[in-house]
A and B are shown apart, each in its own frame.
Chain A
Amino acid sequence: MNTREITVTVNGRKRTVNVEVRRTLADFLREDLGLTATHLGCEHGVCGACTVIVDGHTERSCTQLAVQADGREITTVEGLATGDGELHPVQQALRDNHSFQCGFCTPGFVMTIYGMCEDKKAGRPVPCSRTEIREELSGNICRCTGYQSIVDGTEAALAGTAGKES
């Protein structure tokens, strides 16, 4: 088995791991680090369920190798909510809008929308209209919802208007 040692920072925690060179980043996160929130829906880069943030960029984790992540910083859904049960404002906005149903695609959408909100914070351009939001979400597939509730949740997340628990 051809392996290589890599060092990655995942959700703020530095990890040095010996990893098989052919292992995908998604499998590395899920199987080796036990971070199973990142889901695999197609494993060929279309459905977006495996979306994570790599060095501030929203990326697929199924179509890159773990060794490519050496020296980089990764955020997964596990890195958003704090331990005390408080949802991240993006998650709260999506909850307020009943955005999801079965939950399988959800972590990918959460990370895509989180990425948009981070872009907004950094002053980078973000989608404004619902049509633009739909375009921006086109890299994530959801089979349950028809997307309308996810667009609602994205609007709320970008506006920063997540309500309190009802």
Chain B
Amino acid sequence: MAGGSAISGLVGARVHRKEDRTILTGTGRYVDDVQARGMLHAHFLRSTVAHGRITSIDVDEARKVEGVVRVFTGADMSAITEDLSFAQPIPGLHSPSYPAIAHDVVRFVGEPVALIIAESRYIAEDAAGLIEIDYDILDPIMSTTAGLADGATELFGDVPGNVVHTDEQLFGDIEAAFSQADHVVEQSLDQHRWACNPMETRGGVATYETGSGQLVYEASTQTTHTLRFLLAGWIRQPIHQFRVTANNIGGGFGLKFSAYREDVAVCAAAKAVGGAVKWVEDRNEHLVAAGAAREEQLTLQAAVKADGTLLGLRVTMKLDAGAYPINPPATVYAGLVRTTLPGPYKLPAYHFQHHIVATNKASYISLRGPWAVETLVRERLMDKIAETCGISPVEVRTRNLITLDDQPTKMITNVTLENVTAAETFQKLVEMVDLDEVRRQQEAARAEGRLLGFGVGTFIEPAPGTQEFWAAVGFPFGSEPCRIRIEIDGKVTAFTPQTPHGQSHETTLSQLIADELGVGFDDIRIVYGDTDATPFSMLGTGGSRAATMASGAAVYGARELRKRVLEIASHMLEASVEDLQIADGVVSVKGAPGASVPMGQIAMGCWLAPDQMPPGTNTEMEFVADYDGEGGGFSQASHACWVEVDQQTGKIEVQRFLVVEDCGKMINPAVVEGQVIGGIAMGVGGMLLEHSAYAEDGQYLTATFMDYLMPSAPELPEIEIEHMEFETDKVVGSRGVGEGGTVLAPAALLNAIDDALAQVGRPRITETPITPTRMLELLGVIEKE
């Protein structure tokens, strides 16, 4: 059965969100909303130097402040915790372990050097101001180039040459490809650091019950179970005595996938003081210390035929990992970029090499589509190939794209593509845009002294990806469980390991279960964010998995319970299962509405008097389904972007943005559109405004929202979306759509800006962000600094 749902009703509809009453009335429970009797407050003092050896730390005056309960130096904290280690048995990976609070060497501005526990945050910050630290300053490594240089200072004893990991992989006959090439097209991009910046920063409340020895950590996290098993060892807490919960979460975008040293310190502090400790990072700390993403330099060489056909591709990537590793290991990012980069194009030969380099910056972290640079550089390369071969950006893609007719086929990176419609979304996009008209408008604008640019791009998104895909990346592709229960009154509770933070899973999973089970949308509750209640999954909410994986688990769970209910009802109503239906929580015989039994009556019998239920029936009204993903799959989309460049000020205005997306069967189009538009906004902001910038001496420069510019409403265009819903014969035909906007939008946007530059005879972009200053440099109006 195509598309996934037994009774078509709520699935596919713009159902109002379950989450909205809570968030619109402000009655949610975000971490900072937690108030417990006697709760103490944590504040971290952070390093002011990028690289240095701590020669002395004096916390005596801080300890004397009235209201200060404890001050932990690095040594104090290391006495009660293990060092954090994200090491994995990956050949060649140098993953240094590190303490929760630095006690020897500091390696970035913002690294925790002391933790103050006090009766209020105000007092904790007062005390922090009284701590005296001396450092011996060491040379900071502030770029991959500096880190790789001969004789460069080594950040860690166990990361030789500052190389966290390096590898190269060859697919196909690359030498033959280049020997047959009519053109070799080269391109490079130096992408800047930018950040997740969820509106709620990191934080958690750790509560230790001294009597029972139980620890509860209520965290702002994307993954309760992983946070629990990572932290348990580091804080020496028996895992069966450790519960991690999450309630409302104010955004994550990949940041809240890892466990952080602050989590370790706060949990350990709660154990040490025997009570509740709250830590909520402020925005300044967040910008400085939480980590940032996307700092990668890539160079590409493409072997192409005169008609623009791709023959081979050589890629080198340098990734600026910052100082300390987090979860997942950096090799996963490199593996994702390598595996995904060929995208939906025919590519006969491919060579990929990467160097992951440790520097004196905050950690390189996941950000919404962590592999996104592959799409950015590939789509920009396609435009350069078009220019070299004298064909249009449309033509170059059409000639190289893998269409549905070509599938199943294998990517050069050994990933089978099946049911992938990137080419079809691109075809649709092209039909919706009159390229000749775009060129006429640009010409007319130039005559008036105005400069317009137009760009396109297309891609595939591993959402959730396939077994083969994740094997190629080097990361497991786990199945997804859902525990589902028909309660004693026939209402339904479902427990998911997802940890939604804006993705609307309470709504979408309820839609699916309502349709499958024939119960009311409001008669379903989704429970998430509690390791005591939800089944285990390593991933929580991330990787755009939920649309397929969490949906599948809910659907299969609901189907199993439906089967049990119908078998019992068939005895009670003396009708065959095939003749029964469930609507609004009542089982009835089709065509004989009088013959019916409420699901609540069946459930009550099952829970209270299972012995009296029809013999041979399964009376367990709770079931844990485990969904394997049916082989998984990809989402896909194509974008078109129109910009106007102000040649006096360098301002770039995104005038129009068109999306054709295909995430399979949409569960709730309003949710899909929200994800797509929000993702694009983040991609546009990342390219034009946002920058986690460092000075050469390692000082962090953009530590407030007046320096780190987040996109606000006027900077963003109205985004037009055309949906395609390619359906397969799989039970769950929905694919993830959370990350794609952020992955593809930068490519379409930069292509549009390059298109504008080309019209005035200026060279292409080679580094980001494209701030007004950089745009004026690109236009030749001002000299590059």
Which positions in A face B, CB cutoff 8 Å?
A: 20, 22-23, 30-31, 34, 36-44, 46-47, 49, 76-78, 80-81, 85, 87, 91, 94-96, 98, 100-107, 110, 130-131, 133-135, 137-151, 165-166
Q: Is A165 within 8 A of B713, CB to CB? A: no
Chain A residues lying within 8 Å of B682, measured Cβ to Cβ, are 143, 146
* CA of A31 to CA of B284, assembled, Å: 21
Given contacts A76-B26, A138-B714, A146-B681, 4 further A-B contacts (CB under 8 A): A30-B32, A42-B705, A47-B199, A166-B15
* CA of A144 to CA of B713, assembled, Å: 12
Contact of B199 among A105, A133, A148 (CB under 8 A): A105
Q: Is B716 within 8 A of A95, CB to CB? A: no
The yes or no answer to B136 lying at the interface (CB within 8 A) is no
Give the residue among A37, A38, A103, A105 with the most B Cβ atoms within 10 A. Answer: A103
Q: Is A101 within 8 A of B704, CB to CB? A: no
Can you give 29 contacting A-B residue pairs, CB < 8 Å?
A: A36-B33, A39-B250, A44-B283, A46-B705, A46-B706, A77-B25, A94-B24, A95-B21, A101-B251, A102-B23, A102-B199, A102-B200, A102-B250, A104-B30, A104-B199, A106-B24, A106-B26, A110-B24, A138-B714, A142-B199, A143-B197, A143-B199, A143-B251, A143-B678, A143-B682, A146-B677, A146-B682, A147-B681, A149-B677
Chain B nearest Cβ from A164, distance in angstroms: 11
* CA of A18 to CA of B242, assembled, Å: 39
With contact pairs A87-B24, A95-B24 given, residues A148 and B718 touching in the complex (Cβ less than 8 Å): yes
Chain A residues lying within 8 Å of B200, measured Cβ to Cβ, are 39, 41, 102, 104
In the complex, the chain A residue whose C-beta lies closest to that of B504 is A101
Chain B nearest Cβ from A146, distance in angstroms: 3
**Chain B stretch 698-712: residues in CB contact (< 8 A) with chain A:** 704-706, 710, 712
Which 7 A-B pairs give the minimum distances between C-beta atoms?
A37-B26, A103-B23, A104-B250, A146-B681, A101-B502, A102-B502, A46-B705
Chain B nearest Cβ from A110, distance in angstroms: 6
**Chain B stretch 237-256: residues in CB contact (< 8 A) with chain A:** 248-251, 253
Q: Is A145 within 8 A of B199, CB to CB? A: no
**Chain B stretch 663-686: residues in CB contact (< 8 A) with chain A:** 670-671, 673-674, 677-682
Contact of A98 among B21, B674, B679, B681 (CB under 8 A): B674
In the complex, the chain B residue whose C-beta lies closest to that of A46 is B705
Chain A residues lying within 8 Å of B20, measured Cβ to Cβ, are 94-95, 98, 100
With contact pairs A43-B282, A49-B199 given, residues A98 and B14 touching in the complex (Cβ less than 8 Å): yes
Give the residue among A138, A141, A144 with the most B Cβ atoms within 10 A. Answer: A144
Chain A residues lying within 8 Å of B33, measured Cβ to Cβ, are 30, 36
* CA of A91 to CA of B25, assembled, Å: 8
With contact pairs A98-B671, A101-B503, A101-B674 given, residues A141 and B710 touching in the complex (Cβ less than 8 Å): yes
In the complex, the chain A residue whose C-beta lies closest to that of B706 is A46
Chain B residues lying within 8 Å of A49, measured Cβ to Cβ, are 199
* CA of A151 to CA of B719, assembled, Å: 12
Q: Is B26 within 8 A of A107, CB to CB? A: yes
Q: Is A42 within 8 A of B704, CB to CB? A: yes
Chain B residues lying within 8 Å of A22, measured Cβ to Cβ, are 122
Q: Is B32 within 8 A of A40, CB to CB? A: yes
Q: Is A46 within 8 A of B251, CB to CB? A: no
In the complex, the chain A residue whose C-beta lies closest to that of B29 is A36
In the complex, the chain B residue whose C-beta lies closest to that of A42 is B283
Chain A nearest Cβ from B122, distance in angstroms: 7
Which positions in B face A, CB cutoff 8 Å?
A: 14-17, 19-28, 30, 32-33, 35, 122, 197-200, 248-251, 253, 282-284, 501-504, 670-671, 673-674, 677-682, 704-706, 710, 712-714, 716, 718-719
Contact of A144 among B22, B27, B251, B283 (CB under 8 A): B251
In the complex, the chain A residue whose C-beta lies closest to that of B27 is A37
* CA of A141 to CA of B200, assembled, Å: 12
With contact pairs A22-B122, A41-B199 given, residues A36 and B26 touching in the complex (Cβ less than 8 Å): yes
* CA of A118 to CA of B19, assembled, Å: 26
Q: Is A87 within 8 A of B21, CB to CB? A: yes
* CA of A139 to CA of B706, assembled, Å: 12
Chain B residues lying within 8 Å of A130, measured Cβ to Cβ, are 718
Chain A residues lying within 8 Å of B681, measured Cβ to Cβ, are 145-147
Q: Is B28 within 8 A of A103, CB to CB? A: yes
Q: Is A41 within 8 A of B677, CB to CB? A: no
In the complex, the chain B residue whose C-beta lies closest to that of A90 is B24
Chain A residues lying within 8 Å of B28, measured Cβ to Cβ, are 103
* CA of A41 to CA of B673, assembled, Å: 25
* CA of A38 to CA of B25, assembled, Å: 10
Chain A residues lying within 8 Å of B674, measured Cβ to Cβ, are 98, 101, 144-145, 149
Mostly helix, strand, loop or mixed at chain A's interface? loop
Q: Is A165 within 8 A of B24, CB to CB? A: no
Chain B residues lying within 8 Å of A100, measured Cβ to Cβ, are 20, 23-24
* CA of A146 to CA of B704, assembled, Å: 21
Chain A nearest Cβ from B691, distance in angstroms: 16
Chain B nearest Cβ from A88, distance in angstroms: 8
Q: Is A138 within 8 A of B713, CB to CB? A: yes
Q: Is A20 within 8 A of B705, CB to CB? A: no
Chain B residues lying within 8 Å of A77, measured Cβ to Cβ, are 24-26
* CA of A103 to CA of B674, assembled, Å: 13
* CA of A149 to CA of B672, assembled, Å: 12
Chain B nearest Cβ from A72, distance in angstroms: 20
* CA of A103 to CA of B501, assembled, Å: 8
Q: Is B713 within 8 A of A151, CB to CB? A: yes
Chain B nearest Cβ from A28, distance in angstroms: 12
In the complex, the chain A residue whose C-beta lies closest to that of B718 is A148
Q: Is B16 within 8 A of A166, CB to CB? A: yes
Chain B nearest Cβ from A141, distance in angstroms: 5
In the complex, the chain A residue whose C-beta lies closest to that of B500 is A102
Q: Is B670 within 8 A of A98, CB to CB? A: yes
Chain A nearest Cβ from B249, distance in angstroms: 7
In the complex, the chain A residue whose C-beta lies closest to that of B33 is A36
With contact pairs A40-B32, A49-B199, A146-B677 given, residues A80 and B25 touching in the complex (Cβ less than 8 Å): yes
Chain A residues lying within 8 Å of B502, measured Cβ to Cβ, are 101-103, 144
Chain B nearest Cβ from A107, distance in angstroms: 4
* CA of A39 to CA of B250, assembled, Å: 10
Q: Is B16 within 8 A of A81, CB to CB? A: no
In the complex, the chain B residue whose C-beta lies closest to that of A131 is B714
Give the residue among A31, A87, A98, A141 with the most B Cβ atoms within 10 A. Answer: A98
Chain A residues lying within 8 Å of B283, measured Cβ to Cβ, are 41-44, 47
Chain A residues lying within 8 Å of B35, measured Cβ to Cβ, are 31, 34, 36
* CA of A47 to CA of B708, assembled, Å: 12
* CA of A46 to CA of B704, assembled, Å: 9
* CA of A23 to CA of B121, assembled, Å: 11
Q: Is B23 within 8 A of A106, CB to CB? A: yes
With contact pairs A44-B705, A104-B30, A146-B680 given, residues A95 and B17 touching in the complex (Cβ less than 8 Å): yes
* CA of A30 to CA of B679, assembled, Å: 31
* CA of A44 to CA of B249, assembled, Å: 21
Chain A nearest Cβ from B175, distance in angstroms: 45
Give the residue among B16, B20, B253 with the most A Cβ atoms within 10 A. Answer: B20
In the complex, the chain B residue whose C-beta lies closest to that of A98 is B670
Q: Is B713 within 8 A of A134, CB to CB? A: yes
Chain A residues lying within 8 Å of B197, measured Cβ to Cβ, are 143
* CA of A73 to CA of B283, assembled, Å: 28
Chain B nearest Cβ from A124, distance in angstroms: 21
In the complex, the chain B residue whose C-beta lies closest to that of A108 is B199
Chain A nearest Cβ from B289, distance in angstroms: 15
In the complex, the chain A residue whose C-beta lies closest to that of B198 is A143
Give the residue among B30, B122, B712 with the most A Cβ atoms within 10 A. Answer: B712
Q: Is B16 within 8 A of A95, CB to CB? A: yes
With contact pairs A46-B704, A138-B713 given, residues A37 and B25 touching in the complex (Cβ less than 8 Å): yes
Chain A nearest Cβ from B233, distance in angstroms: 30
Q: Is A87 within 8 A of B25, CB to CB? A: yes
Q: Is A98 within 8 A of B17, CB to CB? A: yes
Chain A residues lying within 8 Å of B678, measured Cβ to Cβ, are 101, 143-146
Chain A residues lying within 8 Å of B679, measured Cβ to Cβ, are 146
Chain B residues lying within 8 Å of A78, measured Cβ to Cβ, are 25-26
* CA of A102 to CA of B246, assembled, Å: 13
Contact of A20 among B122, B670, B673, B706 (CB under 8 A): B122
Q: Is A103 within 8 A of B21, CB to CB? A: no
